Amino acid sequence: MSNKPKSGFYVFSFIILLFLALSFLTESCADNPSSLGKKFINPGDTQGVQVFDSYVDTMLITSTNLRYYVNTSSSINLMVGRYANYKSLALIKFDSITMYFDTATISSAVMKLKYKNYYFPSTLSDSLGNIGFDIYKVQNYYNYSTVTYDSINSTSFGTVSQGNYYGAPSHDTAEVDIPLNTSMVHDWLKYRDDTSYSAKNNGIVLMPNSSSRVIKGFYSSQTTYKPLLQITFSSNPDTLYCTQSETVFLPTATITNSPGTFKLFGGVGYVDVMRFDVSRFSPKVIVNDAQLILTLDPAKSVISPQTNQSVSAYFITDTLNNTENVAYTAGLYNNQFSIRMYLPFQRWIQGQTNYGMMIKAYNNSQAMDLFSIFSETYTDPSKRPRVIIKYSLRVP
């Protein structure tokens, strides 16, 4: 009987020791290591993933709407026409004129354009609308691969009409034949044989007139259906077909930003410089993912159904708003653009100078599309630009 207290004591002690051992193991297996355990973690490892949301947390976001005139010579569209405050003129220069026809007599010269079924604005009535334009000589030399709307002035074009058009092309590849002044075309033939000839071939401009009710797109020189010049002679049986050309369209518009919005306008060149204050993040943060979510204001947008309905963001490298060539692009889904761009945020957080991102319409140099985006000052906070960053904290 005297051994019972001792055995009870031993059982009690064993239970206490077992409890302590289990407590130690539980502590050792916790998700967050103790200060002692951290010494044995690889320095490249991180502690969990945390989420920053500008709708919940604090981040200063600012945007500045700018106009950067854009060259459109790479576009497959050749836009011409006028509607309300929007206008686009088109330049064409035929380069492949054959030599040794400088003394031939021209009976007719016809420019053939094929309609691309691209129109602005983007309603059904606009697709059937009429366009009207006059054709004038381009008086000055322009590099078609760099010229922009702000390059032209009152002396850029002649004042004597060399041809005109009025009509309503309405289906893809519909051909439009426009007779040109044979005297002007004869000057091109002479200039082809003698570059010192006084009448230079700087091309022609399709200038929209007051009869235009819409802006329409023809196929440009970048396509299979490029502009063609057909020259027929009366002095010999030859007919020349000039198929090589340079094209560019020069659009312009007068727009007003509604309160709480900014505009991205393809072709016309409106872009937005957006900056994000990341000063609250430690330089030791590793960005796993980052999204910039922009919300479209459809009531004030004019987007063609034929276009790529996307926007792109570019990393700005200096105070002149020069950018890198890498595009972070997102398409329109549920009225929003979700642009994934973790690398820019990582670079800013680690100390690279933060000049922000330049936001453009994806087709900025290809077509005319107007995206109206809700800005950081819009009255409804749920439609303002939103930044979501998933990040990890590097273990000290």
Q: Tell me the pLDDT of the chain (396 aa) as tens digits.
A: 445 555 555 555 555 555 555 454 444 443 344 333 333 334 444 458 899 999 999 899 999 999 999 999 999 999 999 998 999 999 999 988 888 888 899 999 999 999 998 988 887 677 888 999 999 999 999 999 999 999 999 999 999 999 999 999 989 999 999 999 999 999 999 999 998 999 999 999 999 999 999 999 999 999 999 999 999 998 888 899 999 999 999 999 988 878 999 999 999 999 999 999 999 999 989 999 999 999 999 999 998 888 889 999 999 999 999 999 999 999 999 999 999 999 999 999 999 999 999 999 999 999 999 999 999 999 999 999 999 999 998 766
What pLDDT is attached to residue 305? 80
What pLDDT is attached to residue 19? 54
- Name the H helices within the chain: 3-28, 124-127, 182-193, 342-349
What pLDDT is attached to residue 256? 81
| Other CB atoms within 10 Å distance of the CB of residue 111 | 24
What pLDDT is attached to residue 108? 95
pTM of the model: 0.83
Instruction: Give φ, ψ of 329 to 5 degrees.
Output: -120, 145
Which residue in 89, 73, 76, 72 sits closest to 252, CA to CA? 89
What pLDDT is attached to residue 32? 41
**Residue 67 burial class via C-beta count within 10 angstroms: exposed 0-12, middle 13-18, buried 19 and up:** middle
What pLDDT is attached to residue 168? 93
